[in-house]
Structure 1
Amino acid sequence: MKAVRIHEYNAPLQLDEVDYPKITGPYDIIVRIKGAGVCRTDLHIQEGIWKGCI
């Protein structure tokens, strides 16, 4: 499946191909996400504002 991920601070996001999640334990579930958004905190993380904290 495709995932947009941060690989380093102050760099463009990258579209990656990642494995589908697998259920490995009796209490695991897989949730289908139909949509997602970006909040200001996501942008701060990408910009490296909290680089030493995370």
Structure 2
Amino acid sequence: MSFVVIFPSGSEAEAGKVREQKPKIIARTPEDVGKILTNKRIRLLQVIRKNTGILF
């Protein structure tokens, strides 16, 4: 079992909605962590592709 620390998203931080708060710690299985990271990588590649025109 591993643990993931969840912080506010970028849009919340940009909107100034973030105040000092304790991060939530959620227990996750390694499979869950892998799925979360894979989804984040896909979104990052989509942003890069959109902003640069580079195809992966």
Query: Which category of TM-score, normalised to the shorter sequence, fits these structures?
Result: under 0.3
Q: With the length of structure 2 as denominator, give the TM-score of the two structures.
A: 0.23
**Richer in helix (by share):** 2
Q: With the length of structure 1 as denominator, give the TM-score of the two structures.
A: 0.24
